Amino acid sequence: MNFVESRTNYCVYEKKINFLQLFVDNIIKTRYKTSIMTLADKLKKLRNKQKKSMSEVARLSEQASDHRGRITQGYISRLESGKETNPSLMKLMTLCRIYKVEPNELFVRSVGKKPKQS
């Protein structure tokens, strides 16, 4: 095998590796985004189910015992749109108190429905 053939094989190999890496990165991003959107959808669904506005939830959060649990209307909007991806535990606990749900309900497959048993 001469230099040109080995260089050609290396380039083909490198392209395959780059393609696989892009594919894996895309899958990881999609799964991550899906889980974020699921939390965002659940928060929005809980708020709408109780017929509360974002500003009302923000006002209710001011009653949190710890100032770190207080939430602004803008923050609620970012959470529900999926733009805010890392809410603190205190903020999640405050939202759970306002929506009257257990924290684990935010992370199960569907809020208010029992998972299907097989």
Mean pLDDT score, 84-88: 86
- Cα separation, 101 vs 93, in Å, equals 9
pTM of the model: 0.61
**Considering only CA atoms, which of 97, 95, 101 is closest in space to residue 40?**
95
- Structure confidence by residue, pLDDT tens digits, 34-70: 555 478 889 999 999 999 999 999 999 998 888 888 9
- Is 3-106 in CATH node 1.10.260.40? yes
Mean pLDDT of the residues in the chain: 78
> What gap in Å lies between CA 57 and CA 98, rounded to an integer?
7
The residue-averaged pLDDT of 81-104 equals 90
Residue 10 has pLDDT above 90, yes or no: no
Any idea where the domains of the chain sit in the sequence? 3-106
